[in-house]
Amino acid sequence: MKKAKDYLGLNYPVTISRDIDNGKIVYVAEIPDLPGCRVQGSSFSNALKSLEEAKKLWIKVSLKKGLDIPEPANEDEFSGKLLLRIPAKLHMLMTQKAKNEGLSLNQLIRTKLESSLSIEAIQKEVLELKVKIDELCLRSVMDAASGTILMPFLRREIEEKKALKVDVIDAPSIGLSGQSGGYISTT
């Protein structure tokens, strides 16, 4: 029988989505292979950290109760074939589109599915980048409040061009979304 550390060492896929709860942005993280193993955090990194703790607890409680613990889905478990039932009209339209594009119906459907997954991956990356930008903007506001050098993305430019002087006026009004009510002036 496997122990908790055996399951904790497995690479379970994680999904993270951004949501709004009571008017605040939250990040919902879950492990689909572990039903109910889901958390929410105030930031992307907070949600991931909380999910790791939830995974440990989920596995320990399941072992204690003698419940089956699913292992992560493995590519070897899939043949690459699937039977898909779709409306006759959609079948006809997809067949016509495949013919017009010089593809088999299977090739067209595969291309569309791969494209859809690629778009989801890109959206996830964009979300992760937005979170990082929001965190940088928040750090910039904190830097402005403490009087230290401002705007991390300008630090390199300031160091390279020692002659550039940056003054920030009304910096605390910079929001988490990166929108600024303040002004950056160079003199």
Q: Which residue has the higher pLDDT, 80 or 166?
A: 80
pTM, two decimal places: 0.45
Residue 167, φ and ψ in degrees, nearest 5: -115, 140
**Does 102 share its domain with 136?**
no
- Kindly state the average pLDDT of the residues 81-88: 89
Residue 79 lies in a domain: no
**Does 111 share its domain with 137?**
no
The per-residue DSSP string of 68-136 comes to --PPPP-GGG--S-------HHHHHHHHHHHHHTT--HHHHHHHHHHHHHHHHHHHHHHHHHHHHHHHH
**Does 16 share its domain with 48?**
yes
- Kindly state the average pLDDT of the residues 94-108: 92
Residue 173, pLDDT score: 36
Residue 72 lies in a domain: no
**Does 138 share its domain with 110?**
no
Single-letter residue type at 19: D
Residue 158 lies in a domain: yes
| Confidence band for 115, pLDDT divided at 50, 70 and 90 | confident
**Does 11 share its domain with 59?**
yes
Residue 100 lies in a domain: yes
Angle at 111 between CA 109 and CA 117, to 5 degrees: 105
Residue 182, pLDDT score: 38
| Confidence band for 1, pLDDT divided at 50, 70 and 90 | confident
- What CATH number should be reported for the domain holding residue 49? 3.30.160.250
Give residue 171's domain range: 132-186
**Domains: count for the chain:** 3
**Does 52 share its domain with 26?**
yes
| Confidence band for 39, pLDDT divided at 50, 70 and 90 | very high
Nearest to 183 by CA among 166, 173, 168, 172: 168
| Confidence band for 144, pLDDT divided at 50, 70 and 90 | low
In a 13 Å sphere around the CA of 124, the CA atoms on its Cβ side amount to: 12
